[in-house]
Amino acid sequence: MPETPTPFKYTLLHRDAGTAARRGTFSTCRGVVQLPTFMPVGTRGTVKGVELRQLRETGAEIVLGNTYHLMLRPGEKIVKELGGLHAFTGWEKPMLTDSGGFQIFSLDRLAKITEEGAAFRSHIDGARFHLTPERSVQVQEDLDSDIAMVLDHVVGLPNTRRAIEDAMARTIRWAKRSQDAHRLETQTQFAIVQGGLEYDLRKICAEELAALDFDGYAIGGLSVGEPPQAMYDCLEMLCPVLPAEKPRYLMGVGRPEDILEGIRRGVDMFDCVMPSRNGRNAMAFTDEGPKRLRNARYERDPRPLEEGCPCPACQRSLGYLRHLFMTGEMLGPILLTIHNLTYYQRLVAGARRAIEEDRFTEYCAEKYAGWAASRGGQFNPS
């Protein structure tokens, strides 16, 4: 860690001529992140089944850690005692930690939300916890991530306007409390815009949070039950309202087509468990569409998973990869997780090049054509 903290800074390098897609960078104390980017999810301090050297070789530049899970096990004080999340995990590049808000939302019946914060029971042993905006800040400062998310109030969709408006207003108040509690100079905070699919509420939330001058802005509360096109329409409206000189992060969204459509509308950062979770379940992402390797059609297939992919899974045959899953060998999920993470990094790296060359629309069309071929027809991202 440098003695003098590096200023957190977004730099716009180029804007695509035909879309709102942006090519930029975001500087942190532990390195510069090329944007657009995809962040692998290391929920409990590890991307499941992937060693750090392998993770670096996928092209990943920033990894996400989960405040809620690390707070429960091993506990943020233990992580701090062992040198912070970077020393604890061995990952030397930038890290982002979420606030715990989405996990509280997913707990549903175990959590009670008040103005003070969220009271909930651990899903592990039933122990009582109380997570306030200030407590979330303290936990993330102990974890010593580079980017910390403020605590937000997430509600599922569809929902009543009253519930969405209440959560949105509380998110703004909690963001200010988080900002006031923040002390760690080597860590920055991103605010989270809520408001469901109510465009006027999203706009109010974005404007109120922009006035607080955070270093970055996340879009939360999407991909929680709404149709993809509704999410795209929301991004179309919201991105121009967010500060142009700050990075924009679409939380928890990760189908390849969703990433491209988010980039098209001006989003810079993405995360999702999909590439790793689907990899563990024998599904590989490719430019020819998804391949489900338990399918009998691959039993005698000598071809690689994907031509031109540098990952270790693609150095084996489809028949061998299927064999690993059919026999329950742990190498199968490991290799497919690495492949999927590599695919996502190749996807955003290609997007960065396409933006620089003012051909992002053509890039998307090329990807959609390949995905459509596997489905026997036209590909529609929505």
- Which residues participate in catalysis according to the annotation? 98, 271
Task: Identify the residue whose tokens are 């506990």.
Answer: 75
Structure tokens at 184: 């760690």
Query: DSSP secondary structure string, 6-21?
Result: PPPEEEEEEE-SSSS-
SS3 for 269?
strand
Strands 22-28 and 31-35: antiparallel
How wide is the angle at C-alpha 247 spanned by C-alphas 242 and 252, nearest 5°? Answer: 90
DSSP-assigned letter for residue 239:
G
For residues 2 and 8, what is the distance between their CA atoms, to the nearest angstrom? 13
For residues 95 and 156, what is the distance between their CA atoms, to the nearest angstrom? 27
Non-local CB neighbours of 283 within 8 Å, separated by 6+ positions: 290, 291, 292, 293, 336
